[in-house]
Amino acid sequence: MFSKCRNIGNYNKGQVFPFLIAMLVAVLAVAMITVNLGQIGIFKTDVSNAADAGALAGASTLSGYLLGIGLQSDKMCGEMIIAAVVIILTACSVIGIPVAIATYIAITVKQFVTYFQALEEGKMAWSNAKKTALQYAFQNAGIDEPRPTFKQFLKNVYGISDPDTLSAQAVANYNKIYALGDDASASTEQRRKIKSSTQTGFSRFMEGNWFWDEGAWGEIEPGNISPAIVTNGYAWNADGSNSYDSGNSNLKSFENYVQVSVMGNIMYPLEMYNPGTELSNVIRDWVSERLDLPWWLDWLADAVQWVIDLSVGMLEELLPAGLKMNNIVQNTDNNPVTVTVKRYKQNNNLGLWVFRYGVVQGQSSAHAYGETDADGIPHDIKPMLFENIAHWIGEMFSGGDWDFQWFNTGKHLFETELMTVR
């Protein structure tokens, strides 16, 4: 009877093993899922960071251009003032009239030459913004292409298949060349081989600016316009083959690839600026507020307005004094650089579980926008001098404060920020 009880106890004790095995399988499955999701999370973070970095870098390039063009506008204004003083002084005598005419022609030609140069720089600013955005997006995409091994380096460059046949000193010398990626004492062809056998294809892709060298936009020079959307990509396999070395543009034929697209404007619409614009607005407002005529003399008010507009129009054509952009907010705040980064990684079968990656995409937009002053007015690129003069005259007419400022370069400050992230 007691023997029978012992057998039952042994039988019950053996039932733990099936449950233990089931629990281990469940824990292993949960662990694999957790690791998989973590890897995908890192994958997505890299892509998002790349899009953010590219968009901000491109917008920062535009911000620098806008500041520079604003200062150039101030310089044009100062040159015009000096020329106007010379013209007035020399035109006071009959002998000085030819000098005044020559001065006027020279400064007008110079102003228009500067204007066209600024237009070209505006085109290049957008090209450089797209190029910079591509560069930063690729650099931050988390490309994990393996570097050629020391053994591959020896075989490709020196034809040495078995490093074990080398002496310790020889291994040390070769390893130094491998670490530096160069050998100053070697021939040009040998140095090229060393470089290609110690760097990843992606390093050479970025170093040679091949991320920007793509047919239509690869040879952009001042005066040319970059496409509204620029797209390029890089792909690689675990064995070291890549799209750069093979010239294979079919990214989807590789185990891994990164594709970056940058979308943005093609140029900045600049116009010539003239102080008459500011002064005419002050005069027009003053006349309209104080010229209170009976209805049957409305035509007289219209005539006065027409004379003012005609005079200012002629002045604007004859005496340009800087640069401007109509609707500055539309051309800066609402004019972003948009970067889209796609990253593909082939699924990895570990035997127990398949790490699933596929295509992950991130997109970010950033813009350069003008700071605002105390009145909430966005900063501009046009000269501040005549705007201050117009304000001063308006205050003088209205009996207000006659406060006055000369050039205020702080009015040209532009900032950079992310607008949208997806």
CA Rg value for the chain: 35
Domain ranges of the chain: 17-139+220-274+319-421
Q: With bands split at pLDDT 50, 70 and 90, how would you rate the model's confidence at 145? A: confident
φ/ψ bin of 223: left (φ > 0), alpha (ψ from -120 to 50), beta (otherwise): left
Token readout for 384 is: 């501040």
Range from 203-217, 339-353, 392-406 that averages highest in pLDDT: 339-353
What are the φ/ψ torsions at residue 323 (nearest 5 degrees)?
-125, 155
Better-predicted residue by pLDDT, 317 or 258? 258
Query: What pLDDT score was predicted for residue 326?
Result: 85
d(C-alpha 340, C-alpha 332), whole Å: 20
Would you tell me how many other CB atoms lie within 10 Å of the CB of residue 226?
A: 23
Better-predicted residue by pLDDT, 130 or 88? 130
- Model confidence pLDDT, tens digit, residues 386-397: 666 656 655 665
Q: Which amino acid is at 417?
A: E
d(C-alpha 323, C-alpha 104), whole Å: 18
d(C-alpha 219, C-alpha 55), whole Å: 22
pLDDT at 271 over 90: no
- Model confidence pLDDT, tens digit, residues 181-209: 888 888 888 888 888 888 888 888 888 88
Query: What pLDDT score was predicted for residue 166?
Result: 85
pLDDT at 216 over 50: no
Tell me what the mean pLDDT of segment 320-328 comes to.
85
- Please identify which residue in the block is written with the tokens 């900063």: 379
Closest-CA residue to 117 (of 152, 154, 68): 68
Percent of the chain with pLDDT over 90: 15
Q: Which amino acid is at 215?
A: G
Range from 145-149, 408-412, 418-422 that averages highest in pLDDT: 145-149
